[in-house]
Structure 1
Amino acid sequence: MPTFTDVAALIPTLCGRLVDGSDADLARASMMVMADAEIVSVLEESAKLAKQVEQIQVLAAGVIALRSHRERGHSGLSQARGHRSAAAFVQDATGSTKADANRKVRVGEALVDDAGAPEPADGASASDERPAEDPWYQPLRDALRDSRLTSAQFDAIRRGLGEPPTVGAGDAIGDEADADAQARAQQEARAAWAQAAEHLVGEAAERTVEELWQQARTIRDMLDPEGAEARFLERFEKRSFRMFRGQDGQKRASMVLDDEGDLFLETVLAVALRPRRGGPRFVDSDEKARAKSLTDDARTNDQLAYDLILDIIRAGALADAENVFGTRQAGVRLVQSVNADGKAAPVAHSEDHLISVPLATAEQHICDSGFVPVTVDSCGNPLDVGREQRLFTPKQRIALAIRDGGCRWKGCDRPASYCEAHHIDEWAKDKGRTDIDRGILLCRYHHMTLHHGKWWITRRAKDDFVLHHPSGETFAMRPRTVLSYAFGGIDPPPRRFRPAA
């Protein structure tokens, strides 16, 4: 079995600081005296090595799953070693959690799923059992192989996108369509899913695993709006609330939320707890006083959330909304794309977290609370003439939220409601105008990081924003891929597919 020194020798920066016989304690002492740049290099190099090791692990898990197929029964590889499934075997062998073992098996199966079935059926050769072409998620396999994706990112994107729908000839291509035409339509659906996979691979370095999954799920709903509504209703049917008594005798509760309930509760809690979670600083004096009071409150966030929910339940609408939420009442904001001909997209998305909802749900919200029109181009850039004033107006803030979808800093998943509008041209120093094109959403933490850390942001015309570090290093502040789908910025624009009846 490789020793610590053997593994550490594969990390160039660390290898140069070790001596024969070095162990973990000596490596720790060595790293404690390293310069900042060196210790960052150790982290990056070890992460790259870990990705390669992880790829070997998931490949092994995939082969084990293939050899543990249920058709093999008790003679399967995992079963012969006393394990009920390949995931159970992997969990035992790696010491990982059940969820992590299941993920390794899912990703591993996706990497080896063209290797043939365990036993070719009816005397066919193994090659007869293989697909004639690469699967739609081949871009994910290539990215994992090239270390552009981790197995967690691979799994999040693939699960979020799901499988392309089975395209029905009558639905997709007309009454006279024949089998060849239907096959072409199915191929186009697979190509659209592959294109979405490529786009999300390109964004993986900028987003958290959770955000990748949510974006993939929303893009799938945009490509398959009929399936989106069916999935929405399926989750709605699973909603539940139950109370039970724990082993300690204390009563507990459990909820399964549908999509709208999830959005509503998340918004209510976000508005109420935003000062605790790092919400915007630029608010009026009354709101500042309330924020300080909440920050100083001795209760935990969980206790505050509990008290808030019970207050709402007790009073229905508890006095007036201002007393509960402050100056901004809690409410779910939805973004619905409408083309120049007035035709609405079949799927809308929430302003915060970019969660997709069916057209009927968006129309219901419009009936309840109306709408604010914002004209944007195909890249989501609001067509605005600017304002000669220091702060962005509420309507401009809405336009920025629609365009950015949240904090644009690399790797940040804070939603739009937690963000502040930053002028990339300073009002006094650069005589900057408060124009949409020169503003960008940043969460409170990254807004403060930018100003206190002497970072700055530039933009040429309506190209991507560019973040500059004082060292001279630059980072593209990429827009979220799901917004390109929402506003037609994908070239060529993807077709929307209808599943077979």
Structure 2
Amino acid sequence: MPTLSAALLDRAAVVADLGGTAESIAALDHADLTAAVESVAALQHNVDQFAALIAGEVAHRSRPELGHQGLAQKAGFVSPVAMIQRVAHVSRAEATRLVETGSLLAEAASAGAPPVGGNDGSAPPSWRDALAAAVTSGALSLDAMDAIRRVFSEITGVDEIVLEDAADDLIAAGPGLTPEQLWRRARQVRGLLDADGIERREKQHRDLRTVRTWWDNATGMHCGSWRLAPEDGALVAEAFAQILSPRRGGPRFVDPAARATAEELLNDGRTDEQVSADAFVDLVRLAVDADPGTLFGGRRPAVRIVVTADRLEGRTGPGFIEGRTDTVSAPTIERAICNTGVISVGFDRDGQCVNVGRDRRLFTERQRVGLTVRDGGCRFPGCERPSSYCEAHHINPWAGVEGRTDIADGILLRRRHHLLIRDNRWQVHRDRADYFLEPPPSVDPGRVFIPMPSRSPVAHEIAM
């Protein structure tokens, strides 16, 4: 494998050959432009490695025991982060990321971390070593490494070998995920591995909750902000999702009785922000006495906690907030059951919903629950929209399957992707509980299938 310096020089030469002017870039055809994006990303990966290694060495030469003789303090900075921030002209968050990831890379190098898949016969490599080796080999970007590192650093009381295996799984999934997606996946893993820490994190979230209100004297407007624990935040988010649902891509499951309300909102001259503001004031004014149908089109907003039957019967966590990766503890699950009861959704061993097919054109409310639990949001590759933005797409034309609306042949898609598939010859295929997207020849002449993975943590757990 070429050294970091050699790789950087090779990739810099490729990027330099692009010309470096707007005119030269505009002259590229589609294939060359896509290749240019990949080349720049590869070069940026090498530059980031250099930046992290340098920041890690700055941190090492500024370690606390050196006091005023440390590099940062001798240069007049209170910390290596402050020094990197000022010298490199980056944000404090970016400087912190560089120092922490660089320190991890240096720590792994000084310990003689073996490459991925190798071992020198001594103590097994830690998950930190595995992350460092993945960055060095190019399997992970620094952003992706930092996403896993931040989450795993919060895990306590879990065997190191278990953590390393989990890190290896995340590293393997890394190339197909954005850092944000990888961060969410790591949080799912943390919830499953460190169930004892869920209640601690729930308490931390509750302790951090805030609502601030103030008057903006310059405009005479009343302002506010809030930070809510995931369970409470999900309720607020669902309330606004229900209010704006017709505009965001719904209603997800068309109910003729709600069409008039949906059309009224679609034709409303207010912006989404103005609709939300007016609805917020109505919520405060009406409070607990509000008629749910007044604001939410007939369905009261609620937070669903999704948990497998085994964990429910064993009175153990974790469960998951529907549409999110946030884990909740067994006491929170029991409290939710006391408030709202239980809705049973059956899955087969492949992770497919069962026993919810119906001989009608539209998906039922029960099927809506099943699709939401199974898909976790839009299944179009790379889309992050939650279920509240989505419509149900029949992967087989409804008229051609004798009128059946089976949940196995339906998936959640946000409206933009629903229209893309329907109007531009994209096709969705199913293999048991797995779904694949086939692009049209105009996008990919080879029509290579693209996986459409579920975003539901519970669906992943069932499939394991």
TM-score scaled to structure 1, two decimals?
Answer: 0.79
- 1:149: which partner in 2? 140
CA apart distance, 1:278: 3.4
Instruction: Please tell me the residue identity of whatever aligns with 1:467.
Output: L
- 1:445: which partner in 2? 416
Distance 1:486 1:457 in 2: 24
- 1:343: which partner in 2? 314
Distance 1:194 1:401 in 2: 32
CA apart distance, 1:233: 1.5
Instruction: Decide which of 39, 43, 53 is 2:47's aligned counterpart.
Output: 53
Instruction: Decide which of 189, 194, 214 is 1:224's aligned counterpart.
Output: 194
Secondary structure in structure 1 of the residue aligned to 2:319: strand
Instruction: Decide which of 58, 61, 67 is 1:67's aligned counterpart.
Output: 61
Q: How do 1:389-404 and structure 2 match up within 5 A?
A: 389-404=360-375
CA apart distance, 1:486: 3.5
Instruction: Decide which of 266, 269, 274 is 2:240's aligned counterpart.
Output: 269
Secondary structure in structure 2 of the residue aligned to 1:137: helix
Alignment RMSD (CA, Å): 2.9
CA apart distance, 1:331: 0.9
Distance 2:312 2:226 in 1: 42
Instruction: Decide which of 300, 306, 327 is 1:329's aligned counterpart.
Output: 300
Instruction: Decide which of 477, 483, 488 is 2:458's aligned counterpart.
Output: 483
CA apart distance, 1:456: 0.9
Secondary structure in structure 1 of the residue aligned to 2:310: coil
- 1:495: which partner in 2? none
Please give the per-residue CA displacement for 1:411-430, whole angstroms capped at 9, x wherever unaligned.
11111232222222222356
Instruction: Please tell me the residue identity of whatever aligns with 1:209.
Output: P
Secondary structure in structure 1 of the residue aligned to 2:82: helix
Please give the per-residue CA displacement for 1:368-409, whole angstroms capped at 9, x wherever unaligned.
111111122455322337334333332222222222211122
Distance 1:340 1:149 in 2: 33
Whether contact under 8 Å (1:406, 1:416) holds in the other structure is yes
Please give the per-residue CA displacement for 1:97-145, whole angstroms capped at 9, x wherever unaligned.
222222222222222224569xxxxxxxxxxxxx954222333323322
Instruction: Please tell me the residue identity of whatever aligns with 2:451.
Output: A
CA apart distance, 1:433: 4.6
- 1:455: which partner in 2? 426
Number of aligned residues: 440
Distance 1:28 1:88 in 2: 35
User: Are residue 92 (structure 1) and residue 86 (structure 2) matched?
Assistant: yes
Distance 1:393 1:8 in 2: 54
Please give the per-residue CA displacement for 1:285-331, whole angstroms capped at 9, x wherever unaligned.
45344334334444443333333222211211354111111132211
User: Are residue 418 (structure 1) and residue 389 (structure 2) matched?
Assistant: yes
- 1:208 and 1:264, CA in 2 relative to 1: closer, same or farther beyond 3 A? farther
Distance 1:365 1:453 in 2: 43
Distance 1:245 1:259 in 2: 27
Distance 2:368 2:147 in 1: 31
- 1:240: which partner in 2? 210
- 1:161 and 1:245, CA in 2 relative to 1: closer, same or farther beyond 3 A? same
Please give the per-residue CA displacement for 1:440-479, whole angstroms capped at 9, x wherever unaligned.
22222212111222111212234x3221112213212233
Instruction: Decide which of 195, 198, 206 is 2:165's aligned counterpart.
Output: 195
Distance 1:283 1:60 in 2: 57
Distance 2:312 2:297 in 1: 39
- 1:11: which partner in 2? 14
Distance 2:11 2:137 in 1: 22
- 2:6: which partner in 1? none
- 1:315 and 1:479, CA in 2 relative to 1: closer, same or farther beyond 3 A? closer
Q: How do 1:110-129 and structure 2 match up within 5 A?
A: 110-114=104-108
- 2:119: which partner in 1? none
Distance 1:282 1:480 in 2: 20
Distance 2:300 2:456 in 1: 29
Instruction: Decide which of 474, 482, 499 is 2:449's aligned counterpart.
Output: 474
Whether contact under 8 Å (1:206, 1:410) holds in the other structure is no
Whether contact under 8 Å (2:435, 2:452) holds in the other structure is yes
Distance 2:150 2:262 in 1: 39
Instruction: Please tell me the residue identity of whatever aligns with 2:448.
Output: E
Secondary structure in structure 2 of the residue aligned to 1:459: strand
Q: How do 1:317-396 and structure 2 match up within 5 A?
A: 317=288, 319-339=290-310, 342-384=313-355, 386-396=357-367
Gaps of 5+ in 2: 1-8, 112-121
TM-score scaled to structure 2, two decimals?
Answer: 0.85
Secondary structure in structure 2 of the residue aligned to 1:157: helix
- 1:295 and 1:69, CA in 2 relative to 1: closer, same or farther beyond 3 A? farther
Whether contact under 8 Å (2:253, 2:364) holds in the other structure is no
Secondary structure in structure 2 of the residue aligned to 1:339: helix
- 2:116: which partner in 1? none
Instruction: Please tell me the residue identity of whatever aligns with 1:143.
Output: A
Distance 2:425 2:258 in 1: 29
